[in-house]
Chain A
């Protein structure tokens, strides 16, 4: 046995386990994180922003064309009347879910490692929801009329939405989710905006941050109410995030269509959402921590924990796939058996189904190994594959089932047109443009919460 390492025994920090690198004080940590906001825009950022903003232009073009011509430019047909719009809606909403999980559920579970990634993941939630809501609104073809199809308001036609339909539940679930995520995010930002107000020497920035921080001054009376409100928001967001993807899964499971009509859907959708979300957090966080030198705060421990959660939720999703087969077989219903057991692995879109199994099942297996969890580039590649896999999952659920419905005479194939792809890629550009603006203009790591992790923050955890 090697000689006992006195330094590590005496409280020196194990870099693999620590959530913040040693040697930081509140001042150095605050200076480092706010330097991203106060510093010059790094040249690489212009380049990546140019790419993502070009995609925003593609999105605008795709939307303009859609509004001029109509939804006929998409690949929709009968029987596949739900295509990319629904796939992308579910995909984006799912991506947002890891943000709420990190900010709310891990807060309630007292997982202090979440602190440095929570602001970032919450921003991701907001922007993912912004991308998501575009799809159902544009799918109506006349989004300016959507208010009167979607919202219950007294109107001269004397009609109301049908509250027994999952589609109207969606409207309430997604709008509540977006609003609550925004409130949670902004509430978390207020003390940090006050820090920026107090640190900047630029009079204009002082006014802007002063207004946004609402005059926050760190009073103990204020913290008292603040902590209570923050914890309650976390407590409210936790069932909310579970409800949102459950409600979205009702769009499928309440319908009669084989391939959607299964009770496994709500839990399996929620797990899939968290799975996709963690993949997206890693996809963004790995390059950003490198580019801004934030490895001291987003440490290897964070990436490893996220990798483990990706693996766990991924395996729950795989269990969901297995259960779909079991349900189909056990139901004895010939339509179910055809749709799931025969048509998915060997039918008209077998390639999509097998790619899905590769992406969401085989590709995550390396995460069992510690070496892989400790290697950022490997995690990044796995995250990319998982993001593709989760998109394929929604494609499989939406398109395969519809394209082979009950009557063979109505069967048809579906593929996205160039405008479907343009809008989808465009929203990816929109998402990343918003992410870059966020990273540049507000502190991407919650500084006031990070102070809890410093030696002087220990006092906040003592029992009083």
Chain B
């Protein structure tokens, strides 16, 4: 059955915690044991949890936003210059055609526009969203992850993963429930 289609028999194990502090303690403990393919699910952003999960790597969003913003500003400045100097020069009392101070407002607006699009689309693309299906949704309790429960996932793909021993470890860390995550 499923085992033939997927690399591991299950997707992983999902442990449920009642309090964020318990989740943080558990994350630190499983990292100590050498688990790396893990994720946490929380109803609100907790920087400490994110840092433990992403291994203190920095988010790539700021770089994407910087590129987007620079592209927007360059586009705007190039467009206005080409239109006002090359394609449609208007001689107003012999003032210079390349009147760059007058081009600043539009340049600024397009900088912000492109940067904002980069921030939102960059974030969703980096996160692999939209994705309406994910194995963790197969765990019924998981619907509490967006209200008041804190989940720790260890993927079966982790080299240290052993269904029984990992389950015992998670239970010993104070998880109120540990569930198999089916594919």
Q: Do A and B bind each other?
A: yes
Q: Does A462 contact B (CB under 8 A)?
A: yes
Contacts of A313 in B (CB 8 A): none
Roughly how many angstroms separate A217 CA and B123 CA in the complex, as a whole number?
Answer: 14
Q: Chain B interface secondary structure, helix, strand, loop or mixed?
A: helix
Q: Does A233 lie within 8 Å of B148, measured CB to CB? A: no
Given contacts A199-B147, A247-B105, whether A179 and B113 have CB atoms under 8 Å apart is yes
With a 10 A CB-CB cut-off, give which of B50, B110, B115 has the most chain A CB atoms. B50
**A217-271 with Cβ < 8 A to chain B:** 217-229, 232-233, 236-237, 239-240, 243, 247, 250
Cβ 8 A contact of B134, one of A30, A199, A215, A226: A215
Contact with A along B50-63 (1 / 0, CB 8 A): 11111000011110
Kindly state the separation between the CA atoms of A294 and B40 in the bound complex, as whole angstroms: 31
Interface stretch, picked from A281-289, A343-351, A399-407, A450-458, is A450-458
Q: How many interface contacts (CB-CB < 8 Å) are there between A and B?
A: 208
Is B99 a contact of A233 with CB atoms below 8 Å?
Answer: no
- Stretch from A85-93, A120-128, A190-198, A418-426 that touches the partner: A190-198
Other-chain residue from B39, B92, B112 in contact with A221 (beta carbon distance below 8 A)? B39
Assuming A27-B148, A159-B88, is B61 touching A232 (CB within 8 A)?
Answer: yes
**A426-442 at interface with B (beta carbon < 8 Å):** none
List B residues 92-114 near A (Cβ within 8 Å): 92, 99, 102-103, 105-106, 108-110, 112-113
- Chain B residues within 8 Å of chain A by Cβ, number: 69
Query: Chain A contacts of B169 at CB under 8 A?
Result: none
Answer yes or no: A163 CB below 8 A from chain B CBs. yes
| Chain A hits for B116, CB < 8 A | 179-180, 183-184, 233, 236-237
A residues in contact with B131, CB < 8 Å: 214-215
User: Could you give, for residues 65-94 of chain B, a 1 whenever the CB lies within 8 Å of some chain A CB and a 0 otherwise?
Assistant: 100010000000001100110011010100
| In the complex, B172 has a CB within 8 A of chain A | no
C-alpha spacing A179/B54, complex, angstroms: 31
For the complex, give the distance between the alpha carbons of A180 and B65 in Å. 13
Q: A78 at interface (Cβ–Cβ under 8 A)?
A: no
With A162-B90, A229-B61 as known contacts, state yes or no: A217 contacts B41, CB within 8 Å.
Answer: yes
Q: Determine if B43 and A448 form an interchain contact, defined as CB atoms under 8 angstroms apart.
A: yes
Across-interface contacts of B69 in A (CB, < 8 A)? 236
User: By the criterion CB–CB under 8 Å, are B44 and A217 in contact?
Assistant: no
Among B40, B99, B120, B143, the most chain A Cβ lie within 10 Å of the Cβ of B120
A460 to B50, CA, bound (A): 10
Q: How far is the CB of B144 from chain A (nearest CB, A)?
A: 8
In the bound complex, do residue A172 and residue B106 qualify as a contact, i.e. CB atoms below 8 Å apart?
Answer: yes
Q: How far is the CA of A149 from the CA of B98 in the complex (A)?
A: 22
A210 within 8 A of B: yes
The chain B residue sitting closest to A448, CB to CB, is B44
- 27 A-B contacts, Cβ less than 8 Å apart? A25-B148, A26-B43, A159-B88, A160-B83, A163-B106, A172-B105, A173-B105, A186-B120, A187-B123, A191-B146, A198-B146, A217-B41, A217-B136, A217-B146, A219-B127, A220-B40, A222-B127, A223-B49, A224-B51, A225-B61, A227-B59, A229-B123, A236-B116, A240-B112, A243-B109, A448-B45, A457-B44
Known: A163-B83, A219-B127, A232-B65. 9 other contacts (CB 8 A): A160-B87, A187-B123, A214-B129, A217-B136, A220-B46, A220-B54, A228-B59, A229-B119, A233-B116
5 tightest Cβ-Cβ pairs between the two chains A and B: A214-B130, A229-B123, A26-B148, A198-B143, A223-B45
